[in-house]
Structure 1
Amino acid sequence: MIVLRKYQEAAVAALVNDTYSLMKLPGARLKMVLKAPTGAGKTIIMAEYLNQLSEELPDKLDLPKRKVAYIWFAPNQLHLQSYLSLKDYFSELRSIKPIQFEDITDGQLKPNEILFVNWQSVNKESNLYIKENEQGKDLVRFVHNSMLKDIEIICILDEAHYHADGKKAKELLQKIHAKIEIDVSATPLSPGYTGYGHVIRRQDVIEEGMIKKNVVLNPALDHHKQEGRPLNQILMDEALAKRKELAEAYEALGVKINPLLLIQLPNETKTESVLDKEIIDEVKTYLEVKGLTTSNGKLAIWLSNEKTNLDGLEANDGFAEVLLFKQAISLGWDCPRAGVLLIFREIQQEHFGIQTVGRILRMPEQKHYTNPILNNGYVYTNLSRDIVKIVQEDMDYIVQNKAVRKAMYEQLTLNSYFINTRLTRNRLSSKFRKCMYEAAEQKFGLTRNLEDTKGEVIDAYNRKRLAENVIELDVASIEIPIPKDLELVIVEGATQVTQMERFAKTTGELDILFRQFCRNHVGAYAKADSTPVMELALKMLFEDYLLMDEFAAIKVILYPQNQGKFVELIDVALEKHEQLLKQKAAMASKKVETVSWDVPKEKLYNEHYNERPSDNHVMEPFYEYKSASTPERQFVNFLEKNDAYIAWWYKNGDKNKEDFAVTYVDHERITRGFYVDFVIKLKNGLLCLFDTKTLDSDKNFVAKHNALHQYILDNSSNEKPMIGGIIVPKGAGDAQVWKYCRNKISSATDTTGWVSFEPSTEKPQKP
């Protein structure tokens, strides 16, 4: 079973809700958008969206029409890839039936069928899919036949920016005249977009470990460093070396992943030019010298006239180390082990963005690793740095600023701690029934304990308690009103809405209303997963406390005068469930992973950092966060002034597994990671761990200092002496000093007994 990530669940919920909103509106070709960055799993999102619609639509009595068929348009062969993905997804669920053109029966699309269509197959008037013919087998006619049976059509425009904006595509979409058109893309067209749909933030996808944290763009090396070698050879050497480095990093972690280097050739024309052939021959010859050939399986080729060693290429442990290809395979091709991309481009193609490097964005195991080099993608190109222009939207993701650890650094091997803060699925758990029972006992005074009833039969006792709470139980003969349906009526060319009121008389109708009631009251939890849990909890409540069958229980709950009381009961149960989840999360957060930490060999910095001169920062060059706090900036100045006594210093990160952290218990009693600002090595061998703050600036000030103090006590030794703690500035200008406490503290405002940090005279801390 595929488990959706939190951002995927949010996207599905938004799309489903907006679909219902649009289906109530008059007119057609209503626009909706799913903007999802490459690697977010848009196909899975759309699959679950379709699944939820198929489950919920029959119960949506407030919709004018409740039957829907779908058409999925995609460019190149992406439609086939999506067809196979959804066919596999629905192989067990069977709520949606993926089909191709030849699978259409009875001259129409049927409810919950989804037809996959390749844009190139319908962009010509002469094509049989859209050409009117004697057999009546054309797409538009099939669609119109469906509409005559009150079946709404929803068109899904996958990667719409490639073809859906063309003249023929627009004409076809106009003929189909679907109720809703959903633009699914990283760069949606969204013509006439009215605010319906969902946007997935790239950072959410990164935090879930689905894609790389950054893409490192290494433009052509300075010509002064070429040393007479051809630029293409230098680039291949750099790319091959990076692939080898990644392979060694995976091996060191015991992970069976063979990273793939992609070499992309120019794609100026459909047929290979003389220049193309020259580059292909040059690349093949050079790779052969390096022992990478098609004959030994280490080189794969995907060109129009040559396809070699492609079987098993996408597998994480695939044998090929290099793939030579043209741009044509980029759309929809998924090979998560691809980690390095070498692009041979012409000078005029200088714009770089996510679309350019999308093939190396995915994480092979959908998680990040302790070695930071495995969490980035690497791009090499024959464009010089001054020519490269990064698309504005992607400037914080595609980075060119890299700092490298200085050679003089000697390993520290500190214990660092990482807490996985990934949240659990946003759905009601199996514990919700217990929460419902507790809420009912608290709110209504129900019980299952015979001692509480003073000899009275339990179900009779509980019935009295409900009656005291003004809950009507004798509703067996009462008909439950169904929410008013909407019916569209054409009167003199204008659309009017009339209302029809009906009553539920059958078990089936009551089941629909009960599902709707539960679905509408699961709070912020995912409706598809949580509704069945809510239904069961309410039914079992009546069975266990009142010996009442579910048909009678549903009537009691849905009876208009009772509904408000049960909504209040559900709210109490949801609050209890939320507290239960928080307690579970707090316990889970105490499962801390210990890692061995050193200053990273290299680190990447995006546009939010500026290069700043520094002689002693262990990473060269030093990049400072543009929004760094005033104490941080002042402390850097202090360190630079004392460079005569400092071997090196390092500005630590604040959230990643590769950043140094100790653990502390916050004011909510939850164990969290404390990312210490500065790691400093004095020339006398003393290691200093300091976090800069101003007094009383952090509600966890005391807890963090004491946790760091305890860490130093536990880890300091004669071979590795340490001092540190939270450090605060006193005074200003040349008179400014930095104070810290060598003991545990109890106040965030009282600095009595604190000492000044003096790099020239500092000595190890005594226990």
Structure 2
Amino acid sequence: MIQLKNYQEEAVNGLLKDTYSALKLPGTRNRMVFKAPTGAGKTVAMAAYLNQLAAEIPDKLDLPKRKVAFIWFAPNQLHLQSYFSLKDYFKELRTIKPIQFEDVSNGKLNPNEVLFVNWQSVNSANNVYVRENEQGKDLIKYIYKAMLDDTEIICILDEAHYHANGTKAKALLQQIGAKIEMDVSATPMFHSDYGYTIKRQEVVDAEMIKKNVVLNPLLDHHQQEGRSLNQVLLDEALKKHKELKQAYESLGSNINPLLLIQLPSDKKTESALDRQLIDEIETYLLAKGITVQNNKLAVWLSNRKDNLDGLEDKECMTDVLLFKQAIALGWDCPRAAVLLIFREIQQEHFGIQTVGRILRMPEQKHYTLPILNNGYVYTNLSKDIIKIVQEDIDYIVQNTAKRIESYQEVCLDSAFINTRLTRNRLSSKFRKCIYEAAEEYFGLSRDLDVTNPESIEAYNTKRLQEKFIELDVSQIEIPIPKNVQLTTEEGYTKVTEKEIFAKTQGELDILFRQFCRDNVGAYAKADSTPVLELGLKMLFEEYLLLNEFQAIKIILFEQNKSKFIELIDIALTKHQILLDQKASEASKRVEHSKWDVPVERIYNEHYLLKEAEQHALKPFYEFNNASTPEKEFVYFLEQNKTHIEWWYKNGDKNKEDFAVTYVDRNGVTRGFYVDFVIKTKSGKIALFDTKTLDSDPEFVAKHNALIQYIEEKSTKDKPLIGGVIVPKGARENRTWKYCDNLITKANDTIGWLSFEPALT
């Protein structure tokens, strides 16, 4: 089953909390919003939400009704994409049943069913499924019958802004009268106090989407060199595609990045402008050896569908896709990396929706080469015309700095510690834990001596009987609560219940799932419950050759319950030890790579252009909130530029930034991102981190780690110097002091050296 990212799990919990609140509200059509940026995996999060809601709602005794069915509306063919995604998600679970119209049974929507509907098939009174028809399929009747059965209806409006804002759409939603209408989109149409928003930075930090989208406006006419505007754009986009492909190859990856070329017209059919542009593009690509015939070019137009099969595969040989803006909604191609947009002059606004096709990371991770962590957009609009949507101004950037041509590689050893957290869920290792717990607690075994005439199942049966486990449950029925009512007396909640008995497999399954949900401890219930269920069933199958129906009755029999709860607790303890070991190993797992100043680096709106002749990237962008020592050290370096080949202001958190490891005061291994890497004219490489005395509680640990790194890595061919460096004196007469040995305190500079580029 798919594992949720941390931000997805938080979204599920937030949606559940507000759903329970909305179900208590009076009336119908209570609105909720689930806003998730492109690439966040909203369908997966929604699947987990549905699963947990269906599992929990029977226990929510404070709700007026505790049964719910869902209608998932989506435009075009997006409903089928979501249907198959959820069907795959729930293939091992029984909480939710994804269905289409032909799957409706009993003439109504049943609890925990999700009916997937193409919006265009129901948004008119004349369309099928919303009126009497030969097939007897009538959406409104299905809904009303469900409501008569005390089943609440939740409408999920996938990409509501595409289909739910028209007069007919509003009329249909009014007719349905669902208890909740949930707008699920990157750009929600609704506004509501109920719902959840996944922040884009959370998705970036999870390495699901690219860090930035780089907008490269049309080059000025001085750089055209006799080429047409369209040729300039094609050349730049193809050049970037080639650079990305080479970057993947340098990392040993076979991913082939895809260049998307978008035509300007939004109409379904090709205009005269489109046809003229298509001919020009295909002729130009032919000269570059990119054609439909050799499978390097794919075309997705209203009247042409060329080379689309397998286009989403990471290693697909197709380099370029020519398409219109109306490309299938929901189309997902994570290898798409470059977008060339031919736009009409009045379309000057850029936002994430415009460039959403190139946001996903192909392997759901960021790379050590920064060029692979950004998406690239080329357009025929000039820089002074382009307007970036305010919400996306930090994400869509135009500030690109490139490495100087004279740069020669230094190949420094760099370290990166992956800090992505492990989810709090039962893992695939849990089954082993429950087997070990059963062998310890009950004395079971799967490995009897071959000389023992007793079968394994007979041996294990005796061990359970010795623990007073009742195994003969064929005639025993399991009590279940019915007609639960709440009465409050003196501040206490009292539950009165009448008992009936579970007789069918379905009834037992519900009780068993509830038993497992109640006993997964602090682990996430939605994902961990199925793991516990399967572990217990497999325990009985492998140790006693009993089927799951027999196993469930044995576990749920009142006399046996407490012993199996104890067994589960032992297994959970064992599993937690495994997780702690894994987390400890992960926190110390260091990924090593060879580091050089990046070929190019992207700077967002938080960086300002500054004059700096010797910076390794041109132009130099300085962080708005750079510390005073950092700014002063830049000034010092530029004052001594005649003795410096280049200097580089390092980043402070990414895989592509230079770092050494150190152990902090709590014994945790962390990355130390040294502020400056400097190449002097003498050939020495200086690694300096600017601070003031006692300004950092990890001052000593960081300095000593850097000194040890320098001692280990410095060679005759690549001499290294450096350490933590501090300013002394007024600006015009300032010296910069560092120590080339280990230190024990950070409050004086007696015996420290002065960094003098002329003498270094």
- Indicate whether the TM-score tops 0.5: yes
The more displaced of 512-521 and 267-276 is 512-521
Q: 1:335 aligns with which of 333, 356, 361?
A: 333
1:586 counterpart SS class: helix
Please name the residue that 1:326 is paired with: 324
Please name the residue that 2:623 is paired with: 625
- 2:727 and 2:480 map into 1 onto residues whose CA distance is 70
2:92 counterpart SS class: helix
1:502 aligns with 2:497: yes
- 1:243 and 1:599 map into 2 onto residues whose CA distance is 21
2:613 counterpart SS class: coil
1:415 aligns with 2:413: yes
Please name the residue that 1:186 is paired with: 186
* Cα distance, 1:43–1:171 mapped onto 2, change above 3 Å: same
Please name the residue that 1:50 is paired with: 50
Per-residue deviation, residues 436-494 of structure 1 (Å, max 9, x unmatched): 9xxxxxxxxxx999xxxxxxxxx9xx9xxxxxxxxxxxxxxxx999996469xxxxxxx
The more displaced of 636-645 and 425-434 is 425-434
1:169 aligns with 2:169: yes
Q: 1:427 aligns with which of 415, 425, 435?
A: 425
Per-residue deviation, residues 190-218 of structure 1 (Å, max 9, x unmatched): 24x123x2211111211222111111111
* Cα distance, 1:523–1:94 mapped onto 2, change above 3 Å: closer
1:613 aligns with 2:608: no
Please name the residue that 1:24 is paired with: 24
- 1:194 and 1:268 map into 2 onto residues whose CA distance is 34
2:723 counterpart SS class: strand
Letter in 1 for 2:416: F
Letter in 1 for 2:422: T
Letter in 1 for 2:188: P
Please name the residue that 1:118 is paired with: 118
- 2:535 and 2:306 map into 1 onto residues whose CA distance is 57
- 1:162 and 1:87 map into 2 onto residues whose CA distance is 24
Letter in 2 for 1:82: S
- 1:33 and 1:259 map into 2 onto residues whose CA distance is 34
* Cα distance, 1:186–1:757 mapped onto 2, change above 3 Å: same
Letter in 2 for 1:750: D
Please name the residue that 1:35 is paired with: 35
Post-superposition offset of 1:21: 2.7
Please name the residue that 2:742 is paired with: 744
| Cα contact 2:480–2:499 (8 A) shared by 1 | yes
What 5-or-longer segments of structure 2 have no aligned partner? Answer: 435-440, 444-463, 468-478, 488-492, 540-553
* Cα distance, 1:717–1:161 mapped onto 2, change above 3 Å: same
Letter in 2 for 1:57: I
| Cα contact 2:93–2:530 (8 A) shared by 1 | no
| Cα contact 1:484–1:499 (8 A) shared by 2 | no
Post-superposition offset of 1:114: 1.3
| Cα contact 2:480–2:501 (8 A) shared by 1 | no
Letter in 1 for 2:176: I
Question: What RMSD over aligned residues (CA atoms) do the two structures have, in Å?
Answer: 3.7
- 1:107 and 1:423 map into 2 onto residues whose CA distance is 46
Please name the residue that 1:475 is paired with: none
| Cα contact 1:63–1:486 (8 A) shared by 2 | no
| Cα contact 1:64–1:485 (8 A) shared by 2 | no
The more displaced of 661-670 and 6-15 is 6-15
1:416 counterpart SS class: strand
Letter in 1 for 2:193: T
| Cα contact 1:586–1:671 (8 A) shared by 2 | no
Please name the residue that 1:143 is paired with: 143
Q: 1:220 aligns with which of 218, 231, 237?
A: 218
- 1:54 and 1:176 map into 2 onto residues whose CA distance is 21
Per-residue deviation, residues 695-718 of structure 1 (Å, max 9, x unmatched): 222222111111000000001112
Aligned 1:713-724 pairs, distance under 5 A: 713-724=711-722
Post-superposition offset of 1:144: 0.7
1:73 counterpart SS class: strand
2:609 counterpart SS class: strand
Letter in 2 for 1:607: E
- 1:670 and 1:580 map into 2 onto residues whose CA distance is 19
Please name the residue that 1:353 is paired with: 351
Please name the residue that 2:71 is paired with: 71
- 2:480 and 2:54 map into 1 onto residues whose CA distance is 25
Aligned 1:135-534 pairs, distance under 5 A: 137-191=137-191, 193-195=192-194, 197-329=195-327, 331-428=329-426, 485=485, 501-502=496-497, 525-530=523-528
Post-superposition offset of 1:753: 2.1
- 1:86 and 1:747 map into 2 onto residues whose CA distance is 59
* Cα distance, 1:654–1:524 mapped onto 2, change above 3 Å: farther
- 2:263 and 2:361 map into 1 onto residues whose CA distance is 24
Post-superposition offset of 1:678: 0.4
What 5-or-longer segments of structure 1 have no aligned partner? Answer: 437-446, 450-458, 463-478, 488-497, 541-547, 763-767
* Cα distance, 1:505–1:228 mapped onto 2, change above 3 Å: same
- 2:515 and 2:737 map into 1 onto residues whose CA distance is 61
Post-superposition offset of 1:536: 11
* Cα distance, 1:40–1:30 mapped onto 2, change above 3 Å: same
| Cα contact 2:266–2:325 (8 A) shared by 1 | no
Please name the residue that 1:492 is paired with: none
Post-superposition offset of 1:54: 2.7
| Cα contact 1:13–1:526 (8 A) shared by 2 | no
* Cα distance, 1:482–1:81 mapped onto 2, change above 3 Å: closer
Per-residue deviation, residues 251-300 of structure 1 (Å, max 9, x unmatched): 22221212111110012433322211111111111111111111221111
Per-residue deviation, residues 339-368 of structure 1 (Å, max 9, x unmatched): 111110111101111100111111111112
Letter in 1 for 2:496: E
* Cα distance, 1:512–1:335 mapped onto 2, change above 3 Å: closer
Post-superposition offset of 1:138: 2.1
Per-residue deviation, residues 640-668 of structure 1 (Å, max 9, x unmatched): 12212211110001111111110111111
* Cα distance, 1:738–1:309 mapped onto 2, change above 3 Å: same
1:711 counterpart SS class: helix
Please name the residue that 2:459 is paired with: none
The more displaced of 627-636 and 603-612 is 627-636
Per-residue deviation, residues 359-380 of structure 1 (Å, max 9, x unmatched): 1111111112222211111111
Post-superposition offset of 1:95: 3.1
Post-superposition offset of 1:184: 0.6
- 1:731 and 1:579 map into 2 onto residues whose CA distance is 54
* Cα distance, 1:584–1:136 mapped onto 2, change above 3 Å: closer
Post-superposition offset of 1:580: 7.5
- 1:230 and 1:433 map into 2 onto residues whose CA distance is 65
Aligned 1:532-551 pairs, distance under 5 A: 551=557
* Cα distance, 1:705–1:386 mapped onto 2, change above 3 Å: same
- 2:54 and 2:519 map into 1 onto residues whose CA distance is 20
Post-superposition offset of 1:43: 1.0
Post-superposition offset of 1:512: 8.1
| Cα contact 1:67–1:111 (8 A) shared by 2 | yes
1:92 counterpart SS class: coil
Post-superposition offset of 1:94: 4.0
The more displaced of 102-111 and 662-671 is 102-111
Please name the residue that 1:468 is paired with: none
Letter in 2 for 1:119: W
- 1:94 and 1:435 map into 2 onto residues whose CA distance is 24
| Cα contact 2:101–2:137 (8 A) shared by 1 | no
- 2:5 and 2:254 map into 1 onto residues whose CA distance is 24
1:678 aligns with 2:680: no
| Cα contact 1:61–1:483 (8 A) shared by 2 | no
| Cα contact 2:266–2:324 (8 A) shared by 1 | no
Please name the residue that 1:690 is paired with: 688
- 1:127 and 1:210 map into 2 onto residues whose CA distance is 39
| Cα contact 1:263–1:324 (8 A) shared by 2 | yes
- 2:556 and 2:730 map into 1 onto residues whose CA distance is 74
2:746 counterpart SS class: coil
Post-superposition offset of 1:427: 2.1
Post-superposition offset of 1:180: 1.3
* Cα distance, 1:430–1:669 mapped onto 2, change above 3 Å: farther
Post-superposition offset of 1:173: 0.9
| Cα contact 1:353–1:398 (8 A) shared by 2 | yes
| Cα contact 1:414–1:597 (8 A) shared by 2 | yes
Post-superposition offset of 1:732: 3.1
- 1:100 and 1:550 map into 2 onto residues whose CA distance is 35
